[in-house]
Chain A
Amino acid sequence: MTYKTKRTLIAYAFLSPAIIYFIVYFFWPIAVEFWASFRDGQPLIGESTFIGFRNYARILSDQLAIKAIKATLIYAIGSVVFTLVIALGLSALLVGPVRAKNTIRAILFFPYIISFVISALMWRAILDPYTGLLNAALVSLGLPQQFWLVNPDTAIWTLVGVSVWKDIGYAVLIYIAAIQGIPAHLYEAARMDGARRHHLFRDITLPLLMPTTLFLAVVIMIGSLQEMALPYLLTQGGPANATRLYSLHVFETAFQGLDIGYASALSFAMFMLILFITWVQFKLLHRDIKHV
C-alpha cells in the first residue's frame, strides 16, 4: 500500500462517523420521504400503493395548502424585511459612541437564546386581549384594546413581530461584526472629501454590508419558511387558518390527518424550494466585494 493510499484510508476512517451520520440521519430520511411522496395509503405505517405525481398535483388544488403558502410567504418576507431594517438601524447606532452598548447588545441577543416554548408562553400572556400586559398598557394610556392574535387580519403580522423580536439579536450581532470589519480608511477618505454621516452610511456602509445582508436574508428566509413552533404554540394556526404556516400544515397533514404520502410530497416541495433559495444564496454571495 502506498503512502498516499494509506493517508487517504486514514482520512476516510476519521470521516466515516460523519459520513454514516449524514447517510443515516439526513440522506436516508430524505430518500424515504421522496419514496413516500409517490404513494397513497399509509406508506410508512401500513400498506400503500404507487400513484406517481398525484400527490404533487394535489398541492395545487389544496385550498388549505395554498392559504398556508400565502401565509408563509407573508411571514417569511415580513420577518426578513423587518428584521434586517431594524437590525441594520440598531447596529449602525450600536457601533457608535453609545452608553452601555454592551448591555444593550446583550438585551437584544437574549430573545435569541430563549426556547420557543418559553417565548410563546410569554407572548401569549402579553398579547392576551383580555388579561394581557400589552392591552393593559394601551388601555391605561387611553388607547383602544387590540386583538393581536385573535383578529385574522392582524394575527400573521403579530407573529411576524414575535419572530423579529426573537431574531433581531442575531442579526444585530452579525451586522456589528460586519460594520467593524469595514476598513476605516474608506471613511477617512470620504470625510476628507466632505462626506457627511448619512453619506458615509449610504455610500460606504450600506454597499459594503450587502454580502452580510444577503447572508442574513437567506438564513432568516429559510428559517421562516420552515417555521412551525410559533404558530403551533401561539395560535394553533388560527384564527380562520390565518397563521397556518406551511410547516404546520405539513405536520398536521402527516400526524393529525395520517395522510403521510401527501405530507411527504408537501414537505419535499418545500425542500426543493429551500434548495433553490440556497442555490440563489451561493450565486449571489459568490460575487466578490472589493475594498478599493
Chain B
Amino acid sequence: MLKSILKCSAATFLAAGVIATSASAEDIRVYFNAGHGYDTYLKVFEEFEEANPGFHVAFERYQWPDLRTKLVADFAAGNPPDLVAEPGAWVPEFAQQGLLYNLNDYVARDQAEFDYPGDWQDVSVEKNTVDGSYYGVQIHLTCATLLYNVDMLKAAGYDKPPTNWEEFREVAKATTKNGVFGFAPNAAGGYIMPWIYQNGGQFYDAETGKIAMGSDAAAGAIQFVADLIHKDHSAPVPVTGADYEGPQRLFTAGRAAMIITGPWDINPIRTGNPNLNWAVAPSLKEVEQGTLQGGVSLMVPKDAKHPEQAWDLIKRLTAVDVEVATSLQYSMTMPRKSWLESPEVQADPILGQFGACLPYSRDATLAMRQAGKYKPAIDEVINGAIDEVLYSNKPAAEVMAKAQDEANALIDNE
C-alpha cells in the first residue's frame, strides 16, 4: 500500500515537473480566426518554435466577434496578446486609439529580406497604414464574386454565367423551380455592397464626408435585390443568424443556382458536395464592374510582451511559399504580388477568378475609418434599413434616405 502511494506520489511529482518545464517556456500568444487554423500555419508555428528555443506559440482561435470581445477585455486588463488576426477593419480603429505597435522600425530594418510594402497589393498596404505608419500586415486579401451551378444554368438554357443585371435576373427566374432558388442572397449587410458598386454607388463619400447609402444608385441596387425576392420570387428571404453560411449551404445542397461569396466558401462547397458542377464568374457589371473586398491582417498590440517574436511570426506567416501552399490547400487568396504571379496560382481556375476580381473590389468603410468617422452604430442603422427593404419589402428609396440621415446625424454628433 505504502509502495503504491509512494509510486503515485513520484509519478505526480514527475508529471508536475514536466508541466513546470513546459510552462517555463515563454508563450507567444496568438489570436486567430477559428476558421483560419490552417495546417500550413501550424507548421509555421512549429518551425518558429524550433528556431526560437524557449518560446512556445500559444495559438488561440475564436470566431471574429468573440475574438474582438476577448481582445478588448485584454486591452482593458493591460494584458494583450502578442499577435492578433483581424477581419479587415480593426487596424485603423485600434491604431488611432494608440493601442497598436508601430511596425515602421521593423519594416525598415528587414527591408532587404522582407519586401514590405513593395510586394503587397497597394490596397492591402493602405488598409494597414495610419498617419503614414504601418500598424498591420495583410495576410489574406479576398473579394466576393459570382458562383454558379453549371448544370442548373445549362438545364435552363444558359451556357455562360450572366454578366449584367438584366441577364442575372433572367437566369435567376429561369433557374427557380420548386424548392430551388435562382439566387440565394446573404443576410450580412456587407453582401449588398457588390450591387451598390455595380450600380455606381458607394457606402461613404470621402469628398463630402457623408454616408451615401441613400443615393439613387445605392437605393436602386437594394431595390433590385428586394425585387428578386418579393416580385420575382427567384430568391429567398435571407436567413439571419450568428453565421452567414446559409446561401453557401443552399448552393452546396443544389437548392440555389447562384450565390455571391468569397474564397472562404470554396472548401465548404467542395467538401460538402464533391459532385456539384459549379464555377466562378467575374462580378456583374451594370454601371461599372465592382464588388466587395475583404481580408485579414495581422497586428501587434502596443503592450505586447514579445513584439520582436510577433514580427518574426508575421514574416513567416506571410512568406510567399506559405501563402502559395495555403491558397492551394485552402483556396484562400493572398495580398502579395509575387503570390498572384506564381505559376501554381495562375494555373488554378478558381483562385484565378477570385484573383481577377481583386483589382475592382473595394473595402466599404476604409475611407471612413481612415477619416476616423466610423462607428459600428452606423452599420447598425444602415443594416437595419437594408433589412427593412429585404425582409419587409418597404420601398428602398424612402427607407435608405431616412437611414442615411440617421447615420449622418451619428457622424455629425461626433
A: residues with CB less than 8 A from B are: 42, 44-47, 63-64, 120, 124, 128-131, 147, 149-153, 155, 232-241, 244, 251-260
A256: which B residues are within 8 A, CB to CB? Answer: 65, 68, 376
Interface membership of B41, Cβ < 8 A: no
Given A46-B99, A64-B381, A252-B380, is A235 in contact with B240 using a C-beta cutoff of 8 Å?
Answer: yes
Identify the interface centre among B255, B381, B383: most chain A CB within 10 Å of its CB: B383
Interface membership of B107, Cβ < 8 A: no
Q: Mark B61-98, 1 if CB is under 8 A from A, else 0.
A: 00001001100100110000000000000000100011
Q: Mark B35-69, 1 if CB is under 8 A from A, else 0.
A: 00000000000000000000000000000010011
B236→A42 contact, CB < 8 A = no
Residue of B69, B240, B377, B392 touching A236 (CB-CB under 8 A): B240
Compute how far the CA of A64 lies from the CA of B255 in the bound complex, rounded to whole angstroms: 36
B380→A46 contact, CB < 8 A = no
Given A45-B72, A256-B65, is A240 in contact with B242 using a C-beta cutoff of 8 Å?
Answer: no
Question: B residues 382-405 with Cβ under 8 Å of A?
Answer: 383-385, 387-388, 390-392
A239→B240 contact, CB < 8 A = yes
B75→A240 contact, CB < 8 A = no
Q: Which of chain A's residues has its CB closest to B73's CB?
A: A255
B72→A255 contact, CB < 8 A = yes
Q: Which 6 residue pairs spanning A and B have beta carbons closest together? A: A240-B387, A238-B240, A45-B75, A44-B76, A257-B376, A239-B387
Give the B interface residue count (CB, 8 A). Answer: 37
B387→A130 contact, CB < 8 A = no
A236→B384 contact, CB < 8 A = no
Chain B min CB distance to A47 (Å): 8
B384→A241 contact, CB < 8 A = yes
B241→A236 contact, CB < 8 A = yes
Compute how far the CA of A259 lies from the CA of B242 in the bound complex, rounded to whole angstroms: 22
Given A128-B239, A234-B241, A255-B68, is A46 in contact with B98 using a C-beta cutoff of 8 Å?
Answer: yes
A46→B65 contact, CB < 8 A = no
Compute how far the CA of A45 lies from the CA of B70 in the bound complex, rounded to whole angstroms: 13
A234: which B residues are within 8 A, CB to CB? Answer: 241-242
27 interchain pairs (CB within 8 A)?
Answer: A45-B76, A46-B99, A47-B98, A64-B377, A64-B380, A128-B239, A130-B255, A149-B240, A150-B237, A150-B240, A151-B392, A152-B388, A152-B391, A232-B242, A233-B242, A235-B241, A236-B241, A237-B380, A238-B187, A239-B187, A239-B240, A239-B390, A239-B391, A240-B384, A241-B384, A257-B377, A259-B377
A130→B239 contact, CB < 8 A = yes
Interface membership of B216, Cβ < 8 A: no
A255→B241 contact, CB < 8 A = no
Interface membership of B315, Cβ < 8 A: no
B250: which A residues are within 8 A, CB to CB? Answer: 130
A130: which B residues are within 8 A, CB to CB? Answer: 236, 239, 250, 255
Interface membership of B282, Cβ < 8 A: no
B236→A129 contact, CB < 8 A = yes
Given A150-B240, A233-B242, is A255 in contact with B383 using a C-beta cutoff of 8 Å?
Answer: no
Question: B residues 209-246 with Cβ under 8 Å of A?
Answer: 236-242, 246
Give the dominant DSSP class at B's interface: helix
Compute how far the CA of A46 lies from the CA of B99 in the bound complex, rounded to whole angstroms: 8
Q: Which of chain A's residues has its CB closest to B237's CB?
A: A150
Interface membership of B375, Cβ < 8 A: yes
Interface membership of B406, Cβ < 8 A: yes
Compute how far the CA of A64 lies from the CA of B246 in the bound complex, rounded to whole angstroms: 26
Residue of A131, A152, A239, A258 touching B93 (CB-CB under 8 A): A258
B377→A240 contact, CB < 8 A = no
Give the dominant DSSP class at A's interface: loop
B391: which A residues are within 8 A, CB to CB? Answer: 147, 150-152, 239-240
B242: which A residues are within 8 A, CB to CB? Answer: 120, 232-234, 236
B406: which A residues are within 8 A, CB to CB? Answer: 63
A45→B387 contact, CB < 8 A = no
Question: B residues 252-269 with Cβ under 8 Å of A?
Answer: 253, 255
Compute how far the CA of A80 lies from the CA of B280 in the bound complex, rounded to whole angstroms: 50
Residue of A45, A124, A252 touching B376 (CB-CB under 8 A): A252
Q: Which of chain B's residues has its CB closest to A147's CB?
A: B237
Q: Which of chain A's residues has its CB closest to B378's CB?
A: A257
Given A240-B391, A253-B377, 6 other A-B contacts at CB below 8 A? A46-B75, A63-B406, A129-B239, A149-B241, A150-B237, A255-B65
A255: which B residues are within 8 A, CB to CB? Answer: 65, 68-69, 72
A252: which B residues are within 8 A, CB to CB? Answer: 376, 380
Chain A min CB distance to B222 (Å): 13
B99→A45 contact, CB < 8 A = yes
Q: Which of chain B's residues has its CB closest to A120's CB?
A: B242
A240: which B residues are within 8 A, CB to CB? Answer: 384-385, 387-388, 391-392
Compute how far the CA of A233 lies from the CA of B242 in the bound complex, rounded to whole angstroms: 5
Compute how far the CA of A241 lies from the CA of B376 in the bound complex, rounded to whole angstroms: 14
Given A150-B240, A235-B241, A238-B383, is A42 in contact with B97 using a C-beta cutoff of 8 Å?
Answer: yes
Compute how far the CA of A232 lies from the CA of B390 in the bound complex, rounded to whole angstroms: 21
Chain A min CB distance to B301 (Å): 11
Q: Mark B98-122, 1 if CB is under 8 A from A, else 0.
A: 1100000000000000000000000
Identify the interface centre among A234, A251, A258: most chain B CB within 10 Å of its CB: A258
Compute how far the CA of A124 lies from the CA of B242 in the bound complex, rounded to whole angstroms: 10
A45: which B residues are within 8 A, CB to CB? Answer: 72, 75-76, 97, 99
B392: which A residues are within 8 A, CB to CB? Answer: 151-153, 240
Compute how far the CA of A258 lies from the CA of B76 in the bound complex, rounded to whole angstroms: 11
A254→B72 contact, CB < 8 A = yes
Question: B residues 18-40 with Cβ under 8 Å of A?
Answer: none
Chain B min CB distance to A264 (Å): 12
B99: which A residues are within 8 A, CB to CB? Answer: 45-46
